[in-house]
Amino acid sequence: MVKLIRIRNPWGQVEWTGAWSDNSMEWRHISDEDRERLSHRSEDGEFWMSFSDFLRHYSRLEICNLTPDALSDDSISKWALSKFDGTWRRGSTAGGCRNFPNSFWTNPQFLIRLDEEDDDPDDGEAGCSLVVGLIQKNRRRMRKLGEDMHTVGFAIYEVPDEVRPPADFLPLTSCL
């Protein structure tokens, strides 16, 4: 039995080309049913390799998509997942970075309220954990059509309870 590991390069430019890579000879010995169960597809950026090859070729691993279940510590708190969809559209919601204060405010905005302390109650500090992920959906597919990844980012601001947002703030935001 071979132990396999599935890896995804989020930029999709380089893939493993050895054993168990897309279209390698090893897949010919695997039934269609098992390939389907393993979600084996030849999509740009995602690939399989044997665990032994992984250990031989990689000395460092970075996790770039943390989900609440990956961070759970039931003794302290439970994670809640919230998803906000936004889009940058030229001329309306693509305000650029903070270097452009006249248009930056038109970017998608999301108001998040963190009400419950979730860290160690005995350490004398109040704290609430937040994990933010910014994802460009379907960009690998668009690259095949000649488009590059967009330069994107986000800014997080604390809004004290005593500060009232301007009247036009809520129509531009999603709230939680």
Residues marked active site are found at 9
**Token pair of 171 as six digits:** 């129509």
Spatial separation of the C-alpha atoms in residues 44 and 21, rounded to whole Å: 11
SS (H, E, C) 53-71: HHHHHCCCCCCCCCCHHHH
Distances (CA, A) of 33 to 8, 11, 19, 24: 22, 29, 20, 17
